[in-house]
Structure 1
Amino acid sequence: MSERDAEANRFSARAARYARVGANVGGVAARIAGARLFGVEGREASNAEALARALGGLKGPIMKVAQLVATIPDVVPPEYAAELQKLQSQAPPMGAAFVKRRMMAELGPRWRERFGTFELKPVAAASLGQVHRATTLEGTALACKLQYPDMESAVEADIAQLQVLFSLHRRMGAVIDTTEIAKEIGARVREELDYRREAKHIALYRAILADTPQVRVPRAEPELSTRRLITMHWLDGSPILSHKQDGQGARDLIATAMFKAWWRPFSHHGVIHGDPHLGNYTVFSEDGAPAGINLLDYGCIRIFPEAFVGGVVDLYKGLRDGDEARVVHAYETWGFKGLSRDLVETLNIWARFIYGPLLEDRVRRIAEGVSPAEYGRKQAFQVHQALKKRGPVTVPREFVFMDRAAIGLGGVFLHLDAELNFHRLFEAEIDGFCVARVAERQGAALAEAGLKA
């Protein structure tokens, strides 16, 4: 196929995707707009269900975007967030014949000779690709993640329609300016298409967590990887939710490993794993008992400026010590504008929720009396009500995945019903914290992994 033909095919695929996404989502948008125009209120729940059905028929990356949007406080109304979180992002799996063609396209006509074994039936499927078990010629177990065809076209079409989701909320009197949020989501989802970058993310995390035995990171196989195929060593483990009935000690050990897997890279290197989906972690055991977690997926990794990391620590210490000036300085560091006392108090509603478990020097659950799906909803509503009085606020783009990951991590702790001293765990991670040291560590780790900040 010529380059011109390939580009024409990509354009056709993108145009078809635009049409399907636009028709499905646009129809619901028109319905909501009509209800508002004619004063028909109280229909949010049914409209939210209609939107979920429209998106649910599309599969693929729009599902990932919709689920992501649902985890960011106040970007869409609560009724919509609840429905969007129910969506499953899996696309229909590729059949054996199609997998063979895709593998040939990535590794050449003799691709099969490069593996000892290769299972054509996938063991897992997600929004952008599916995972196959394989072995090296020497017998080492592998996981091969193969991207679905035309994903670039699908992603661009779906990102374009992201504005439709945001416009729904603007029509309902939104108090969060979504401009920066849209930019951030677009940038991160596009990055997930590049599996060569994901292989570098794996190398980055192997360097960062080399001295954290409770967290295992796979090893990528560059010779068996391309931009749309990533091959890594298989890590045996069991699903996190299969341990919900374990003893308290075992559940707390798993939760502690999760805490370190998230907070250690951030506080030491300014890096977070931005996709806290339960399917991205498994539990490994030693002598028949849980010993830690396997961190499996590295498509959504966020690298932060060291000043942002300093703001996170400043806000924590300001809230801990009752130092209002330090709290304000943290918000200013992040780029919040027009920081009146009222706005600071409003932002502190969310900050005290996120930091609350870290501020109390006692063994506790992450939250009481809420389900994982409800975690953070009450506080988001309180922020929404307070911001209604002062107009839209622009949220710095770094917060999109910071908040998403924090909420997802809290959800895992709730699933496990973990009881930890989060305060002491966090204090241990920021002991001797220095912004300059974060920058130094980050630079060294990125250079080793072949990445740029």
Structure 2
Amino acid sequence: MLWQAIGAVRDLGRLHEIAGVLIRYGFGDLVRRIGMARTLERAGKALHWREPEELARLEPPARVRRALEELGPSFIKLGQILATRVDLFPSEWIAEFSKLQDDAPALPFAEIHAQLTEDLGEAPENIFTELDVRPLAAASLAQVHRARLADGCAVVLKIRRPGIRPTVEADLRLLARLAEIVEAETPDLRRYRPKEVVRQFTLSLRRELDFAAECRNAERVANQFKAHPEIIVPRIHWQWCGERLNVQDFVEGISGRNLTAADAAGLDRKLLARRGAQAVLKMMLEDGFFHADPHPGNVFYLPENRIAFIDFGMVGRLPEERRVQVAHLLHGLVTRDTETVAGVLLDWGSEGESSSDVELTRLNSEIGAFVDMYHGVPLHRLDLGVMLSDLVSILREHGLSLPPDLALMLKAFITLEGMGRQLDPNFDMAAEATPFLKNILLAQTTPDALARRGWRALSDAIGLVTSLPKDLRQFLRAARRGKLQVQVEVLPLKQFGQQIDRAASRLALSIAIAALIVGSAIVMTVERAPALAGLPSFGMLGFIAAVIGGLWLLVSIWRSGRSE
């Protein structure tokens, strides 16, 4: 089965490499269960199933993280996406995925010079008065070099690695096939929704490969902060930017990882924490377009307690309806409004899911008990990030997942609060979020907002009424022609029918085998029949066919028993 699913022989070498890494890190059983071992054996590859002793002592999250690191750029990026899915993975898995660092050996500048010349339209030496051939940083998709323009402006060049797109596309094809196989062959892994995760990852990675899209993201965020001089977004130099090249202002500041240097520079940690939180909350709750990876490496602290954000390859989008839901949720947490929190989470967790009334009632009860547990806790002692993590874990325990845009927002929110508490141990995220939440909720009660929602509802109602005669006419026409069909699918009955069908097929095969044996025994008694090894040939062929059919029947029954 897997051989047909793989299809493309060009990816077989990469498949063997993936299987080898999984086996080395103790996931040989997974390789067997999804059929990769059988495929590789057919291709003539020898697998060694023994697990190194030093890896046997690692916990499963650490093993997976190490395996992703060894598998290379695409899989490191996949791990970084998984780190955002707080609704699918427990905290220990999220912590391991968050350790994945996108570092890679730098390419010699001579190997990227030709591509850089092609993207710039002329040799870089003709454009930049200074160009450092030593990279500032190197990652799996790109490396960054510092340069200076003719007007003296310091810039950085983010250059995509030559030939990286075909490699990434091959990995994406392989991941899509493996996700289908895992979802079909391993029921215990379906709760992690591998196909949906790979789909989200594919969209994210393809956007990240397009540096022009990253430039547009940065410019959009910069426009959002035109009236906020304390927030800096590097200026984009569009005349040299494209799909493979991003040229932007160089940020001279203190990395968010170096708090000691921030103290030495006399910066106000409490003010930095407040400004950073307000900036990200504004992006999320006011603008609906936010930096989805605000970790310390993407933040710089500048003189006068200004903050610069870089690297807008991963962004999140929240439409107005989502922002209102987020406001209701966070405001409900801050004010201990149990019914509001439970209602919003049930709406989110049930999108695309089918849950029984009993399950939803139980989930509602658990959420209510959790929120009630924080009743009376002073606002400054309320750890909003921990509360959100615990609430999402309740959804996860019930097999419900959040929509991808919300999962990205929650991960960014939790990361933001962690950064705030690193800067200021008394940082109060709930207090910073409350004004934004109140503004969103108040905006929903203004006359303009009420009129807009009323007009939208009226338009939908009018559209439904005007289309009703046409829909009814089509319904009656189909009924008169005898083409009206009502399809009711009951999954337990469907599975029962499949079992009956398999049983009937085996019974028919058993009867055919019995007939072959009886017929062959009769033929063996016929005199003067053509002989084979001294025995009647037709009788021997009948017995051989019966043996093959019997073996096939036994193997089929054995496989069915294992799968069940």
TM-score, normalisation: structure 2? 0.62
Matches within 5 A, 1:139-288: 139-160=152-173, 167=182, 175-177=191-193, 179-244=195-260, 246=263, 250-286=268-304
Which one of 344, 358, 363 corresponds to residue 343 of structure 1?
A: 363
Secondary structure of 2:220's counterpart equals: helix
State the Cα distance separating 1:110 from its structure 2 match. 2.6
Secondary structure of 1:127's counterpart equals: coil
Q: Return the alpha-carbon distance in structure 2 between the equivalents of residues 134 and 367 of structure 1.
A: 40
The question of 1:402 aligning with 2:418 is answered no
Q: Deviations over 1:245-277 (max 9, x none)?
A: 839982222211221221101111111211123
Q: Return the alpha-carbon distance in structure 1 between the equivalents of residues 233 and 363 of structure 2.
A: 41
Q: Deviations over 1:312-368 (max 9, x none)?
A: 011123334454453354346546354723223556799999xx8xx9533777779
Q: Counterpart amino acid of 1:343?
A: L
Q: Which residue does the alignment assign to 1:137?
A: 150
Which one of 380, 384, 388 corresponds to residue 362 of structure 1?
A: 380
Confirm or deny: 8 A CA contact 2:221 2:290 kept in the other structure.
no
Q: Return the alpha-carbon distance in structure 2 between the equivalents of residues 352 and 125 of structure 1.
A: 48
Query: Which protein is richer in helix relative to its size?
Result: 2
Q: Return the alpha-carbon distance in structure 1 between the equivalents of residues 269 and 315 of structure 2.
A: 26
**Which runs of 5 or more structure 2 residues have no equivalent in the other structure?**
1-7, 35-55, 450-564
Confirm or deny: 8 A CA contact 2:23 2:31 kept in the other structure.
no
Q: Return the alpha-carbon distance in structure 1 between the equivalents of residues 77 and 104 of structure 2.
A: 11
Cα distance change of structure 1 residues 63 and 397 upon mapping to structure 2, 3 Å threshold: same
Q: Counterpart amino acid of 2:406?
A: F
Q: Which residue does the alignment assign to 2:97?
A: 84
Q: Which residue does the alignment assign to 2:423?
A: 416
State the Cα distance separating 1:103 from its structure 2 match. 0.8
Q: Counterpart amino acid of 1:119?
A: D
Secondary structure of 1:362's counterpart equals: helix
State the Cα distance separating 1:421 from its structure 2 match. 3.2
The alignment's C-alpha RMSD in Å is 4.1
TM-score, normalisation: structure 1? 0.75
Q: Return the alpha-carbon distance in structure 2 between the equivalents of residues 238 and 228 of structure 1.
A: 27
Q: Which residue does the alignment assign to 1:5?
A: none
Q: Deviations over 1:392-426 (max 9, x none)?
A: 32431222311221232233234334423333321
Which one of 311, 314, 317 corresponds to residue 303 of structure 1?
A: 317
Cα distance change of structure 1 residues 27 and 141 upon mapping to structure 2, 3 Å threshold: same
Q: Counterpart amino acid of 2:270?
A: D
State the Cα distance separating 1:88 from its structure 2 match. 2.2
Q: Return the alpha-carbon distance in structure 2 between the equivalents of residues 419 and 165 of structure 1.
A: 43
Q: Counterpart amino acid of 1:24?
A: V
Q: Deviations over 1:271-305 (max 9, x none)?
A: 1211123211111113xxxx021101111111222
Secondary structure of 1:425's counterpart equals: helix
Q: Which residue does the alignment assign to 1:40?
A: none
Cα distance change of structure 1 residues 150 and 360 upon mapping to structure 2, 3 Å threshold: farther
Structure of higher RCO (CA pairs closer than 8 Å, 6+ residues apart): 1
Q: Return the alpha-carbon distance in structure 1 between the equivalents of residues 369 and 143 of structure 2.
A: 40
